[in-house]
Amino acid sequence: MADTSFIAWPFFEDSHRSHFEALSLWCETHAHDLHEESGDVEADCRRLVKMLGGAGWFRAAVPAAYGGSTEKLDVRTLCLTRMTLGYNAALADFAFAMQGLGTGAISLFGSEAVKQAYLPKIATGDMISGFALSEKEAGSDVAAMDTSATKVDGGWIINGEKTWISNGAIADVLTLFARSGEAPGAKGLSAFVFPTATAGFSVTERIDVIAPHPLATIRFENCFIPDDHLIGEPGDGFRIAMATLDIFRSTVGAAALGFARRATDEAVGRATSRQLFGAPLSDLQLTQAAIADMALGNDASALLIFRAAWAKDRGQPRVTREAAMAKLYATDTAQQTIDKALQLFGGAGVVSGNTVEQLYREIRALRIYEGASEVQKVVIARATIAETKG
Ligand SMILES: Cc1cc2nc3c(=O)[nH]c(=O)nc-3n(C[C@H](O)[C@H](O)[C@H](O)COP(=O)(O)OP(=O)(O)OC[C@H]3O[C@@H](n4cnc5c(N)ncnc54)[C@H](O)[C@@H]3O)c2cc1C
């Protein structure tokens, strides 16, 4: 039986506890459907969006005024949702995460018209969203972005290419970042709501990765976006991207924690049932050391994740340092935990289709996207130096 003692921690309110219990139960009941694979990851993702949207779980990804379940984006609810879905089915977690990340900037900074137009359909799963920031030459170095937004009468013309875009080929709407040129570097970027039905938009490449996700390279050729699809003010793009990541980075840590908790449970199940040298594998003290490391890593990750989420929910305007710590620690630690779990399985651990084998592939990208581990270290160090200097 999985350890769920964390849910009693004082970071949570009763509404969080009942959300966690209801989602855990739903995942258990729908375990078979959550894992159905057709061999076409885009089709699988669309199916999961319908399933999760139909059950109401995307309501956690938008504010209540637009069909959501909490008044504003509630980071603890987002984290509990990702942790629980991550524990049960990584692609379902991905589908949920993208509905939130893809429209987070709209929820936080969008005009009323744009919020009304998109968020209710995101909440029901009738629309799929994506977050289009990265380019071939601008991943960690966001300010090197080249995709352009040129002001014209009544709107903007977008030209350029984005890559690594989750849901790039299946999204109905993207939060798009482009260079609008108010200033050099990061201060010359703007954020837009971009409907993918816009003329001039195309998918140029599908990208296969170690753990199948719908990833694509997408192209914009003279795409016209009306003025009310600008999010915030011209030149606000970098600030908007960072404010969105302030919320969603903790949730990447939460997904990693879900993977790690699942790996721990799988490993304990294996170690207590596998007989080695006349006794269960779990009787060996080196096995116990591995299990202790896993349990410790999970609790330490949970403390950092829910600290960051709680701080944001109670009104701390920026939680950049806390969210960076949560993401960095939880993703790096989950990688180690899953590796230890796989080791306890021996040869069976590397057999395709084994849960720990799948988790071993799933965890890797989380240490790279939404800011690689090294980027999080830079963020933490800068904040620490600034605070210490006063
Ligand atoms: C599965 C997956 C899904 C993704 N989904 C999306 C998406 O939906 N939308 C989107 O916009 N992007 C997405 N990305 C892109 C992701 O955000 C970038 O891959 C990431 O920002 C790193 O950029 P890069 O790949 O260009 O690597 P680079 O920027 O070239 O960095 C390479 C490596 O350099 C190191 N590094 C980086 N900065 C520093 C530093 N300051 N100091 C020391 N070392 C450093 C890190 O180890 C990093 O991994 C996704 C990526 C993956 C793998």
CATH topology of domain 5-127: Butyryl-Coa Dehydrogenase, subunit A; domain 1 (1.10.540)
How far is the centre of ligand 1, averaged over its atoms, from the C-alpha of 306 (Å)?
Answer: 25
Return the residue whose CA atom lies nearest to atom 48 of ligand 1: 372
pLDDT of residue 31: 96
Residue-wise pLDDT tens digits, 283-301: 999 999 999 999 999 999 9
pLDDT of residue 389: 85
Query: Cβ(374) to ligand 1 under 6 A?
Result: yes
Q: What's the CATH class of domain 238-389?
A: mainly alpha
Q: How far apart are CA 61 and CA 72, in angstroms?
A: 9
Domain 130-236, classified CATH 3.40.1190.20, yes or no: no
Averaged pLDDT score across all residues of the chain:
97
Q: Ligand 1: which atom is nearest the Cα of residue 166? A: 8
Return the residue whose CA atom lies nearest to atom 7 of ligand 1: 165
* Pocket perturbation via mutation, ligand 1, pick of 41, 101, 134 by most ligand atoms within 8 A of CB: 134
Q: How confident is the model at residue 1 (pLDDT cuts 50, 70, 90)?
A: low
Query: Cβ(381) to ligand 1 under 6 A?
Result: no
Q: Is the dihedral of CA 192, 82, 37, 355 positive or negative?
A: positive
Specify whether 13 is catalytic: no
Strand intervals (E) in the chain: 129-132, 148-152, 155-166, 173-179, 189-195, 201-207, 215-226, 230-231, 275-276, 279-280
Domains 130-236 and 238-389 share a fold: no
Query: Cβ(375) to ligand 1 under 6 A?
Result: yes
In this predicted structure, the answer to whether residue 59 has a pLDDT above a threshold of 80 is: yes
Boundaries of every domain in the chain: 5-127, 130-236, 238-389
Residue-wise pLDDT tens digits, 168-213: 999 999 999 999 999 999 999 999 999 999 999 999 999 999 999 9
CA atoms within 13 A on the CB side of 234: 12
In this predicted structure, the answer to whether residue 153 has a pLDDT above a threshold of 70 is: yes
Query: Cβ(323) to ligand 1 under 6 A?
Result: no
**Widest CA span in the chain:** 79
